[in-house]
Amino acid sequence: MITHSIVPWFVFIPLLTAGLILLIPNNRSRLIYRVSVAANALTLFLAVVVFLNFDSHQSGWQFVVHRPWVSALGISYHVGLDGIGVVMVLLHGLLSFCGACVSRSIDRNIKLYFTLYSILVASIFGVFTSLDIFFLYLFYEMAVIPLYPLIGIWGSQNREYAAMKLTLYISLGAVLALVGLLSIYLASGLQTFDLVVLSEQAKTGLFSRQFQLWCAPLLIFGFGVIASLWPFHSWSPIGYAAAPTAVSMLHAGVLKKLGIFLIIRLVLTLLPEGARFWMPLVAVLCIVNILYGAWAAMAQNDMKFVIGFASVSHMGYAFLGIAALNQIALTGTVFFMFAHGIMAALCFALIGYIYDQTHTRIIPELGGLAKQIPFIAVCFVMAAFASSGLPGFANFVSEILIFFGAWETYPLLTVLAIFGIVVTATYMLRMVRHVFYGAPNPHWEKLKDAKALMIKLPYGLLVAVLLVFGFWPSFLLNAIRPTTEALLETHHSIFLTQAKHDSALSVGTRQLSHLAHYLYHGSRKENA
């Protein structure tokens, strides 16, 4: 049995690591690297322990720590996890560890790099665990601070422009969100930032419909910027391309998910009528995300830009799952955040490995690499399959849940979203063919494959996670489902819509529908 005090250590350990690294002499670069890897391995271990000890039969908060901080303003250090938070903590624990492992290629200002990396890791953990709006926003803003130097100093081409554009876009969105959060604090009249107290009172109609209608878009679009909701997406692919490998992994894997996470945590929980009013617009915008991002990825020659625009496209599926406002789609969205985070981080890690050896990411300049680096090639093929929604990978489970949940609310938009999967498979498999199985380029005959265990570990671990949760999705679904059901049942009359059964559905579509319902409900029957 573990104590409730374990959750604060997700923030404390990375911050303590940053302080420890500052005490290490600059010339001890190998020691700095090992300290960072060990610290992130510890947070990953704690994330696994918390996930395994999480009671999936409860929908409330677990591992709660609550300490008053500024009582006059209603600010307290309040942390805890529900089914959504515990999944995001597990995702971040995995990616922060793998990101530290692949950072062995950093060869200058190593102390500063790993110090900033640790602060970034701590900030993201803070967002996922905070139950006080003040600290939640504080950690959200803290995550932006190290991004600028991490990209501006250790990035590649156009790094200064990319760092500045990223910072300006996310800061603008944060200002919009701050106005919304302060409005919630003042409109509640409770003089508290405690999210648990506010959510309980929101069930009784704390906020008027008029207030919700103008406050909800501030949070939706404010936090939607970091999730690259169209048309606030243009900073994202540039940021991916310029960032060093580990930062690209965290950027695509968890930073984007902060926007989705906070919309679920704040808008759906506190402003249900505002969410219902604005979600149809979000559904339309997310289809633009899906199709525009997919076609833009198709036109790219730089591997990082391909995955960057693909990530913009894929975030549209997460927004579609939220906009559907039903249990299957929302559960699929949380599952999708985890699956996409693993897949996108794996792609950027593999591209980083190739770039470190070839110093190019341009697809026409590469070719036939599968013969020289077979392990990396196999991992990249697996990542491409996962991105394309192939059965057996976690992405397939999440996408089918989103599609059949969204079908009940937006059938036409769902059809358009499914078409995006076809485009995704096209550009991902085309990239695999050109880079790994195209005509060999004599310049790359002496490339070295990943052979040492510590070099293989981050790539193999991410591939294994995609497969494990693809074949056994109940591990995640059991944790997610009670929280999403409780969230939607709280405002049953607002959120839930009656399922529309179309008698013209083909037999094949009905079978897929049954599969989606089995993925969603099957684990519950097995437990019974």
SS3 letters across 56-79? CCCCCCEEEEEEEEEHHHCEEEEE
Confidence of residue 205 (pLDDT cuts 50, 70, 90): confident
Per the structure, the count of domains in the chain is 1
| pLDDT tens per residue across span 3-41 | 668 889 999 999 999 999 998 888 888 899 999 999 999
Residue 268, exposed/middle/buried by CB under 10 A (0-12, 13-18, 19+)?
buried
| pLDDT tens per residue across span 311-357 | 888 889 999 999 888 888 899 999 999 999 999 999 999 998 888 88
Express the helix, strand and coil content of the chain in percent, nearest 5 each: 75, 5, 20
Q: What are phi and psi of 374, to 5 degrees?
A: -65, -35
Three-state secondary structure call for residue 70 = strand
Residues of the chain with pLDDT > 70, as a percent, come to 92
Measuring CA to CA, which residue among 487, 471, 475, 479 is closest to residue 393?
471
Which residue stretches of 243-393 are H helix? Answer: 245-250, 256-262, 269-270, 272-298, 303-324, 327-358, 369-372, 374-387
Question: By the 8 A CB rule, do 332 and 286 touch?
Answer: no
Domain range for 103 is 4-527
Bridge partners (DSSP) of residue 338 are: none
C-alpha 122 chain-centroid distance: 16
Confidence of residue 162 (pLDDT cuts 50, 70, 90): confident
- How many other CB atoms are found less than 10 A from the CB of residue 510? 12
| pLDDT tens per residue across span 106-150 | 878 888 999 999 999 999 999 999 999 999 999 998 888 888 888
Task: Indicate whether 525 pLDDT > 80.
Answer: no
Q: What is the pLDDT of residue 227?
A: 85
Task: List, in order, residues 6 or more apart from 421 with CB less than 8 Å away.
Answer: 388, 389, 399
The C-alpha atoms of residue 17 and residue 39 are separated, in whole angstroms, by 7
Q: Which residues of 85-106 are buried (b: 16+ CB within 10 A; e: fewer)?
A: bbbbbbbbbbbbbbbbbbbbeb
Cα–Cα–Cα angle for 115, 116, 118, rounded to 5 degrees:
65
Question: By the 8 A CB rule, do 469 and 338 touch?
Answer: yes
Measuring CA to CA, which residue among 214, 231, 216 is closest to residue 263?
216
The C-alpha atoms of residue 40 and residue 461 are separated, in whole angstroms, by 14
Measuring CA to CA, which residue among 216, 218, 236, 214 is closest to residue 226?
236
Three-state secondary structure call for residue 81 = strand
Which residue type sits at 275? A
Structure tokens at 420: 């995006």
Question: By the 8 A CB rule, do 262 and 251 touch?
Answer: no
Residues of the chain with pLDDT > 90, as a percent, come to 27
* Predicted model pTM: 0.88
Task: Indicate whether 510 pLDDT > 50.
Answer: no
Q: What is the pLDDT of residue 490?
A: 63
Q: What is the pLDDT of residue 506?
A: 39
Q: What is the mean pLDDT of residues 269-282?
A: 87
Residue 417 vs residues 300, 306, 320, 521: alpha-carbon distances, Å: 21, 19, 9, 24
Residue 68, exposed/middle/buried by CB under 10 A (0-12, 13-18, 19+)?
exposed
CA diameter of the chain: 71
The C-alpha atoms of residue 298 and residue 431 are separated, in whole angstroms, by 9
Task: Indicate whether 500 pLDDT > 50.
Answer: no
Q: What is the mean pLDDT of residues 150-159?
A: 81
Q: What is the mean pLDDT of the chain?
A: 84
Task: List, in order, residues 6 or more apart from 135 with CB less than 8 Å away.
Answer: 75, 77, 78, 126
Q: Which residues of 472-505 are buried (b: 16+ CB within 10 A; e: fewer)?
A: ebbbbbbbbbbbbeebbebbeeebeeeeeeeeee
C-alpha 252 chain-centroid distance: 7
Q: What is the pLDDT of residue 160?
A: 81
Question: By the 8 A CB rule, do 122 and 11 touch?
Answer: yes
The C-alpha atoms of residue 165 and residue 285 are separated, in whole angstroms, by 22
Q: What is the pLDDT of residue 497?
A: 39
Task: Indicate whether 90 pLDDT > 90.
Answer: yes
Confidence of residue 519 (pLDDT cuts 50, 70, 90): low
Cα–Cα–Cα angle for 307, 311, 313, rounded to 5 degrees:
115
Q: What is the pLDDT of residue 123?
A: 93
Confidence of residue 194 (pLDDT cuts 50, 70, 90): confident
44 membership: H or E segment, kind and range: helix 29-53
| pLDDT tens per residue across span 384-408 | 999 888 888 988 988 899 998 888 8
Q: What is the pLDDT of residue 517?
A: 54
Q: What is the pLDDT of residue 443?
A: 78
Residue holding tokens 């302080």? 19
Task: List, in order, residues 6 or more apart from 140 with CB less than 8 Å away.
Answer: 123, 127, 174, 177, 258, 262
Bridge partners (DSSP) of residue 81 are: 62
Q: What is the mean pLDDT of residues 437-449?
A: 78
Bridge partners (DSSP) of residue 302 are: 362
Task: Indicate whether 1 pLDDT > 70.
Answer: no
Confidence of residue 361 (pLDDT cuts 50, 70, 90): confident
Q: Which residues of 349-374 are buried (b: 16+ CB within 10 A; e: fewer)?
A: bbbbbbbebbeebebeebbbbbebbe
